[in-house]
Copies of this chain bind each other. A is one copy, B any other.
């Protein structure tokens, strides 16, 4: 074979391998920006579009990593960071306020191929909590760090701390004042009753991403400011592995958003994966069962995003809306807020 024929043959085999690989190695990403009672009539089209633009930017950030052969780990981190940096969503900038008018941030990440996981809860001065969750996973001997200790670990690892006020937004501050007004109660029993009736929007809002990369590895990441007006250093589902975040290559990757207490008690993320793994359900069936048949009857409002090792995506929710987007190597892109749009 002469040199030009050899070049042609090499080129051809490269093309064939590449196209075969493209067929054999699907990749996909899905993201969410929280679920809740989003009222379409009070949500001007231009504002809806602004939210959708941010969702698109986030899903694109992750997709780009995957398309270039990067890891699902990096893809979910990059996607979540776009959402943390946006004031629209309850994570990073735009996080809700605690009862003490501060922001306490939670985040977690899990990798499907080795089930490594990292989580932080109650940090106040970490600009992108998902990065610190990843740092805990990669460079500590622990899975979960909290509060001041998590920030001390960040300092040791060379992080620059930011002032808690960088997460401030006027609309979240107003939401806290409304929540406090609604929650005026003379005792704990009355407080519990009022909390039960509090609009679900005060109790939820989280961002997250799940991805499958070309190497067949799944990852999930979740980040949140938690519940408006939360007290007593409450920990929700977002930093709980198995509740708000879960990934294992032989079933699926899940990130949840909703009324966290229910998602912890019903072990939501891991239960969806268990139904896939042990019952052979599709992620669509498994996720819909948990969201609609398990959670809804007991009052557990929210939704999940799920991806499996074939690149299938499911994004069910039992609220009026869920900010969400997905993009996969099969070409399908979705960016939606309500059921159908």
Taking Cβ atoms with an 8 Å cutoff, the residues of A that contact B are 110, 115-117, 119, 121-122, 139-150, 152-153, 156-157, 188, 191-192, 195-196, 230-236, 240-243, 246, 260-261, 264-267, 270-271, 274-275, 278-279, 298
Contacts and interface: CB of A to CB of B under 8 A. Distances in A.
A153 B192 CA distance: 14
State the copy count for this chain.
2
Nearest to A266: B115
A233 B123 CA distance: 11
A165 B17 CA distance: 66
B241 A150 contact: no
A139 B188 contact: yes
A141 B265 CA distance: 13
Given A144-B235, A271-B274, 17 more contacts: A110-B265, A115-B265, A117-B265, A121-B235, A141-B195, A143-B235, A146-B234, A147-B233, A149-B231, A150-B232, A150-B233, A153-B231, A240-B240, A241-B243, A241-B264, A242-B270, A278-B279
B233 A191 contact: no
B149 A233 contact: yes
A146 B122 contact: yes
Nearest to A241: B264
A195 B140 CA distance: 10
Given A143-B261, A261-B142, A153 B232 contact: yes
Nearest to A122: B146
Contacts of A196: 141
B278 A157 contact: no
Nearest to A240: B240
A81 B143 CA distance: 27
